[in-house]
């Protein structure tokens, strides 16, 4: 079974080399535990090994995501030129309706525009599929969708969207805020996923845990991590 | 009373040989405890002893179900040719609207199309009934129905559907995710059933428990199991 | 005060000979504790002592009820011919719309057809009333009504229906699944009743308890029972 | 301050002689604790000392109420003839639409007919008021109203109705089932009342407690009672 | 900062002389703890020192309020003649539609007539404002409003009404029943207020506590009180 | 990274000099813990160092806010003349519809007028942005919005509004009452924020805690404070 390294040295080894191709995983954690950083690192790692990347943002513009990645030294510009990195910006046009698409940024008019999101993502996926690329997708975050639509609608949307990702063997990371949603919503999202990772912070101690991952002996152990200027790293 | 072996050697003996003809049972468990595997094993076992099989999938395409079965060595192709194995795919057309029926796969346009499901299943049942076949049905999963319709509608749908299964003396297995639904919904589904099995995993230990089964002295004991490359087996 | 024996030897003595004429009682219990058996036994006992019987089924066809009664040796055929045993089948037509009435079976088109149920039951009651028969009624089950209509509608329906039963001095048994409904619904149904019996099963031990019965010193004691091939019997 | 004895010898003394004129009280208790008996005793006691009585029934016909009163030796017939005892039957016409009014029984077509109830009760009150009678009213029960209408509607209805009772200085007893309603509904009803009594039964021990009564030093003590063939009596 | 004494000798000293001008306070407590008495005492105290008074009643007629005040020796008649005491009766017309206004009583047709209440109160306030009077307002009770309208509507109504009171520097007392409302409703009302007092009764012991008051060092101490024939007094 | 001092000497040092430019923070606390004072101090501090200020009030008129600021010695008049201080009054017109705009006060007709608020705030922001001013915004309070609209609408409004603030690099403080809202609403608002401060009061002890702040090592330590006639100060 082909596996995709997340790009956290030391941690990928603990999950038998990475996430199996075709799987979707949930990244859970409280605010400021590093969920977005982990998603960016995962996308950038992919670009460096020849995978295609899609970053879907719902809380900030694509430009702001890109700036944050650069601050970690992860400049996606060359990969955008190469045509293998795309941003899907679901936030910008709500804040500034004059924003428009660029070659590497697709804008969705509103977080409620599920159909539009679906079409754009399906198109990007089939484009990359034709290039025979392994596709990495980050969705930051599902929690924002749940601010705009009721849980039932969001879950049905993801139920189908994740099926489409699976058809092109994409590996996707969905970010979910902990404590913001009903327990049954969290459980249902976990049931839709092929695995779950949790980021946590107690005082100054940060940890990353694999709570379960398809086809993987996942030790369910809290691994101490730190967030350095080069991203998430396992702490010795 | 005629009984139908599930196909888990050692376990069938513990429930007096299998599930009584005409009964419907619930398979409960958390994600990745082996519910789908148990349902596949039950269907395949039937095919090998001359029973007819219907596998209803709501989370993946029929093709994906078939692939998974093959990975356990359970290739249904010869039985499909014989006309005694049918897949009812309630998921594929939502992900890819160009998918169509094949001789052994019936597609339902959406998980909300309860009437369509009802008609297709009644037809298949009466077909097999005329062939004087014992019918085995797997429904994977009721939890997905509960994502698309409210619990009342799902329960009324099953209340009638299970009545139809009983009229053709079919044995059916309904899969339910634990923890995803209101407690009263779980209890109501148990009340609609003639029996309940629970799959669980604690650390690396897996267990299967019969929580109750009509006309059966069911010991309510957690039986240690393992999932091998040949399916679920009792652990010595 | 005239009392009607349930037909469980030994237990009737504990409740001063039986249920007072005109009373309605609730039979509560978890799945497979013997509620339906108790209702059938109550109806059959009545037939053997010259009372009229009405069995209302909401989870299976009248034919299936009758089969189960026969399996206990309680064949109602002679009493049907005599015209003092009637089945009201609220389930069959939902599963097979071609089913029709017989001299002793009335079909209700759907569990939502409260008016139709009301008319049929009032008619049967006044028929038996003219024959100067004591009337025994079993309703299996109220829980199914609660799957199809909201609790308020069901409670108002029963509030009036039970009043009609009382006007013809009928003794009725209403079956209710425990744990399937909101606590306040259970309490309200108990308040509508003139008494409550609970069937329970702990491991292999079965018990029957009278939780309260109008005009009766009811000891509120769990009586050990067993279910034999001749129905429910007190255990020595 | 003029006080009205309930008619339970010994207990009236404990509450300084009875309920103050113009007050409304709540009688709370579980099923079969004697609430209806207490209301009947209160009405009958009034008749024997020259007060007017109104008994409002929502769970049984006026005829059935009267029969029960007679079974305690409380025959209201002479007082009906005198024109100082009236029954308001809110139940009978729902069960048998052919029932009609008699000189001493007013029928309300349905428990939902709040306006009709209001008019009938206002009329009866002003009739008795002109006769310069102290008026006693029993309402059995508020819990039934709560089966037919939502709590907000019932509370607004009572908020106004109790104001009308107060204008004619009537003393009213409202019966409420315990455990059947939301806690906030119970608290709101207590807030609408000028006092609350609770009837309870533990095993075979029955008690009556005054939980609070306007202008009365109410000891909040559980008084042991028994229900004899002459009604409720304090136990020595 | 000008302060207004409540009129409970000894207690006013504990809160630095009284309630600051322009403040609104909440009086919380269970039934029969003296909330209405405290509001009446506050209004009457004002009249005796030259302040204007408005008493808004939602549970009884203005006449009944006045009677109760007289029973404490607080006859408002001279102040009504002087034109500085007004009753706003939001209850009477619901009970007796023939009631009409008097020079000192304004009737509101129903507790749902928020606009009408708003207009009447604004008019009275600006009348008194022109007379350069300090205005005292009692609202007995907010809990009744919450019986007739949903919490959101009541809170929005008070959010604006209290702003109008503040514009004329009125001091207002709003009465709230404890335990009758959702916790979040109580908290929101406290947040709308400039202070909160709680009346409580444990056995025979009564207490009054200042839970917080704007611009006041409020000791948050339970002060023992008694209700005498002259109103609330601190217990030595 | 540029940081903006709040203006609480000693405390700003604890958070590395102040709030990062472009960040929005939540100020949580129970009634009367100093939330409004902190917001006023933050705005005034900015004016004295050349920043622009916007104070949005939802519970009192702009005039009342200004009066309170003056009582702390924070007179905004000179800055209003200079054109760098603006009040957005969302309350006044609901209480007195005759109020109108002034050069430094913008009135919003109602707390429900989200679009109007949005337009006014965007205009003010782009005005200040052109002047190349750092912008400080205080929103007192989000809790009032939640009284007028449902949480979903408020959260979506803020999700976009905060994005607009971020585009002009404004630093904003949003005030939230603790205990008045559902826990999930509080968590969601925290997730929308870049940091959270909590004000608390235990007995007479007041504290201020930084619960988290973007790009800041925030010690999560309760700092004792006092509210003096010059605003909030750290206690030695």
CB-nearest partner of C31 from B152, B163, B191: B191
Average pLDDT over residues E28-47: 95
Distance CA E171, CA E180 (A): 25
Average pLDDT over residues F150-176: 95
Report yes or no: A68 at the B interface, CB cutoff 8 Å. no
Candidates A222, A147, A211, A152; CA nearest to A177 is: A147
Assess whether pLDDT exceeds 80 at residue A203: no
Average pLDDT over residues C146-160: 94
Nearest CA of chain F to the CA of E4: how many Å? 21
Average pLDDT over residues B89-103: 95
pLDDT band for A196, please (50, 70, 90 cuts).
Answer: very high
Cβ–Cβ below 8 Å for F32 and E159: no
Interface test mutation site (partner C, options D112, D176, D180, max chain C beta carbons within 10 A): D180
pLDDT band for C20, please (50, 70, 90 cuts).
Answer: very high
Chains B and C share 3 or more Cβ pairs within 8 Å: yes
DSSP B215: T
What per-residue confidence (pLDDT) applies to B1?
Answer: 76
Assess whether pLDDT exceeds 90 at residue C182: no
Distance CA D216, CA D20 (A): 8
Which residue in chain D is spatially nearest to E60 when comparing CA positions?
D163
Are the C-beta atoms of residues D208 and D223 closer than 8 Å to each other? yes
CB-nearest partner of A31 from F160, F184, F212: F212
Which of C219-223, E43-47, F204-208 has the highest mean predicted lDDT (pLDDT)?
Answer: E43-47
Interface test mutation site (partner C, options D93, D99, D147, max chain C beta carbons within 10 A): D147
What per-residue confidence (pLDDT) applies to C236?
Answer: 73
Instruction: For residue range B21-74, list pLDDT tens digits in order.
Output: 999 999 999 888 999 999 999 999 999 999 999 999 999 999 999 999 999 999
Cβ–Cβ below 8 Å for A96 and F156: no
Are the C-beta atoms of residues A6 and A155 closer than 8 Å to each other? no
CB-nearest partner of D190 from E31, E91, E182: E31
Distance CA A169, CA F104 (A): 58
Candidates F177, F180, F217, F179; CA nearest to F195 is: F217
Contacts of A91 in chain F (CB under 8 A): 163
Interface test mutation site (partner C, options D62, D90, D179, D184, max chain C beta carbons within 10 A): D179
Cβ–Cβ below 8 Å for A147 and F163: no
- Mean residue pLDDT across chain C: 94
Nearest CA of chain A to the CA of B38: how many Å? 17
Can you spell out the DSSP letters for D115-172?
Answer: HHHHHHHHHHHHHHHHTT--EEEEEE-HHHHHHHS-HHHHHHHHHHHHHHHHHTT-EE
Contacts of C166 in chain D (CB under 8 A): 60
Instruction: For residue range A211-235, list pLDDT tens digits in order.
Output: 989 888 776 789 999 999 899 999 9
Cβ–Cβ below 8 Å for B96 and A188: no
Distance CA A19, CA A212 (A): 11
Nearest CA of chain D to the CA of E143: how many Å? 9
Interface test mutation site (partner E, options F99, F149, F180, max chain E beta carbons within 10 A): F180
Can you spell out the DSSP letters for B71-115?
Answer: HTT---HHHHHHT-EEEEESSHHHH-TT---BTTEEE-S-TT-HH
Report yes or no: E32 at the D interface, CB cutoff 8 Å. yes
Q: What are phi and psi of F4, to 5 degrees?
A: -115, 115
Instruction: For residue range E72-85, list pLDDT tens digits in order.
Output: 999 999 999 999 99
Are the C-beta atoms of residues F24 and F176 closer than 8 Å to each other? no
Which residue in chain E is spatially nearest to F176 when comparing CA positions?
E191
Instruction: For residue range A65-104, list pLDDT tens digits in order.
Output: 999 999 999 999 999 999 999 999 999 999 999 999 999 9
Q: Subunits that touch chain F (at least 3 Cβ pairs < 8 angstroms)?
A: A, E
Nearest CA of chain A to the CA of F164: how many Å? 6
Assess whether pLDDT exceeds 80 at residue A1: no
Instruction: For residue range B148-175, list pLDDT tens digits in order.
Output: 999 999 999 999 999 999 999 999 999 9
Are the C-beta atoms of residues F98 and F64 closer than 8 Å to each other? no
What per-residue confidence (pLDDT) applies to D224?
Answer: 96
Listed by number, the residues of chain D in 122-151 with a beta carbon closer than 8 Å to a beta carbon of chain C are 143-144, 147-148
pLDDT band for B203, please (50, 70, 90 cuts).
Answer: confident
Beta bridge partners of D50: none
Listed by number, the residues of chain C in 188-207 with a beta carbon closer than 8 Å to a beta carbon of chain B are 203
Residues sharing a CB contact under 8 Å with residue B218, sequence separation 6 or more, in sequence order:
B15, B195, B210, B211, B212
Cβ–Cβ below 8 Å for D191 and E31: yes
Report the predicted TM-score, pTM, of the whole model to 2 decimal places: 0.85
Report yes or no: C211 at the B interface, CB cutoff 8 Å. no
Average pLDDT over residues E124-152: 96
CB-nearest partner of D160 from E31, E61, E95: E95
Are the C-beta atoms of residues A37 and A227 closer than 8 Å to each other? yes
Distance CA F105, CA F82 (A): 14
Distance CA A235, CA B18 (A): 52
Interface test mutation site (partner E, options F28, F29, F31, max chain E beta carbons within 10 A): F31
Distance CA B26, CA B209 (A): 12
pLDDT band for F51, please (50, 70, 90 cuts).
Answer: very high
pLDDT band for E19, please (50, 70, 90 cuts).
Answer: very high
- Count of CB atoms situated within 10 Å of the CB of C129: 16
Instruction: Calculate what percentage of chain A has a pLDDT beyond 70.
Output: 100
What per-residue confidence (pLDDT) applies to C220?
Answer: 77
For residue C58, what are the CA distances in angstroms to C88, C143, C146, D156, D203?
9, 9, 11, 38, 36
Nearest CA of chain A to the CA of F216: how many Å? 11
Q: What is the C-alpha end-to-end distance of chain A, expressed in Å? A: 29
Which residue in chain A is spatially nearest to F164 when comparing CA positions?
A95
Q: What are phi and psi of D11, to 5 degrees?
A: -75, -40
Report yes or no: C109 at the B interface, CB cutoff 8 Å. no
Exposed/middle/buried for E202, CB within 10 Å: 0-12, 13-18, 19+?
A: exposed
DSSP A225: E
Average pLDDT over residues E201-223: 87
Indicate the Cα dihedral angle A35, A41, A46, A52, nearest 10°: 60
Contacts of C31 in chain B (CB under 8 A): 190-191, 212
3-state secondary structure of B137: strand
Are the C-beta atoms of residues F56 and F139 closer than 8 Å to each other? yes
- Mean residue pLDDT across chain B: 94
Report yes or no: F167 at the A interface, CB cutoff 8 Å. yes
Average pLDDT over residues F178-187: 88
Distance CA A34, CA A29 (A): 8
Indicate the Cα dihedral angle E135, E141, E143, E148, nearest 10°: -100
Cβ–Cβ below 8 Å for A191 and B95: no
Cβ–Cβ below 8 Å for B144 and A159: yes
Are the C-beta atoms of residues D48 and D231 closer than 8 Å to each other? no
Contacts of E163 in chain F (CB under 8 A): 60, 91, 94-95
Instruction: For residue range A29-43, list pLDDT tens digits in order.
Output: 988 899 999 999 999
What per-residue confidence (pLDDT) applies to D31?
Answer: 84
CB-nearest partner of A155 from B31, B95, B147: B147
What per-residue confidence (pLDDT) applies to A218?
Answer: 73
Residues sharing a CB contact under 8 Å with residue C40, sequence separation 6 or more, in sequence order:
C55, C65, C68, C69, C72, C74, C138, C231
What per-residue confidence (pLDDT) applies to B140?
Answer: 97
What per-residue confidence (pLDDT) applies to B218?
Answer: 73
CA dihedral for B85, B91, B93, B99, sign (positive or negative): negative
| Per-residue pLDDT tens listing for chain D (236 residues) | 799 999 999 999 999 999 999 999 999 998 889 999 999 999 999 999 999 999 999 999 999 999 999 999 999 999 999 999 999 999 999 999 999 999 999 999 999 999 999 999 999 999 999 999 999 999 999 999 999 999 999 999 999 999 999 999 999 999 999 988 988 899 899 989 999 999 998 877 999 999 989 888 776 789 999 999 899 999 97
Are the C-beta atoms of residues B66 and B76 closer than 8 Å to each other? yes
CA dihedral for B150, B156, B159, B160, sign (positive or negative): negative
Contacts of B36 in chain A (CB under 8 A): none
Nearest CA of chain E to the CA of D91: how many Å? 25
Average pLDDT over residues C62-84: 96
Can you spell out the DSSP letters for chain C?
Answer: --EE--S-TTHHHHTTTSEETT-EEEEEE-TTSSHHHHHHHHHHHHHHTT-EEEEEESSS-HHHHHHHHHHTT---HHHHHHT-EEEEESSHHHH-TT---BTTEEE-S-TT-HHHHHHHHHHHHHHHHHTT--EEEEEE-HHHHHHHS-HHHHHHHHHHHHHHHHHTT-EEEEEEETTSS-HHHHHHHHHHSSEEEEEEEETTEEEEEEEEETTS------EEEEEETTEEEE--
Cβ–Cβ below 8 Å for A31 and F164: no
CB-nearest partner of D95 from C167, C191, C212: C167
pLDDT band for F204, please (50, 70, 90 cuts).
Answer: confident
Residues sharing a CB contact under 8 Å with residue F184, sequence separation 6 or more, in sequence order:
A179, A180, A181, A182
What per-residue confidence (pLDDT) applies to A96?
Answer: 92
What per-residue confidence (pLDDT) applies to A180?
Answer: 87
pLDDT band for F91, please (50, 70, 90 cuts).
Answer: very high
């Amino acid at each position: 079974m082909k596996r995709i390294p997340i790009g956290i040295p030391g941690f990928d080894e603990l999950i038998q080399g990475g996430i199996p191709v075709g799987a979707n995983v949930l990244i859970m954690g409280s605010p400021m535990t590093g969920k977005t950083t982990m998603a960016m690192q995962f996308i950038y790692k992919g670009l460096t090994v020849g995978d295609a990347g899609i970053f879907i943002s719902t809380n900030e513009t694509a430009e702001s995501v890109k700036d944050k990645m650069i601050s970690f030294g992860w400049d996606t510009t060359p990969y955008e030129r190469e045509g293998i990195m795309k941003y899907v910006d679901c936030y910008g046009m709500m804040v500034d309706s004059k924003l428009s698409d660029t070659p590497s940024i697709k804008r969705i008019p509103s977080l409620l525009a599920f159909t539009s999101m679906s079409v754009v993502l399906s198109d990007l996926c089939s484009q990359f599929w034709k290039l025979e690329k392994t596709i990495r997708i980050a969705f930051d975050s599902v929690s924002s969708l749940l601010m705009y639509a009721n849980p039932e609608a969001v879950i049905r949307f993801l139920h189908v969207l994740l099926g489409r990702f699976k058809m092109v063997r994409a590996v996707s990371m969905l970010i979910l805020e902990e404590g913001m949603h009903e327990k049954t919503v969290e459980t249902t999202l976990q049931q839709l996923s092929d695995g779950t990772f949790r980021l946590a912070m107690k005082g100054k101690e940060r940890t990353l845990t694999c709570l379960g991952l398809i086809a993987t002996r996942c030790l369910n152990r809290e691994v101490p991590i730190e967030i350095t200027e080069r991203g998430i790293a396992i702490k010795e």
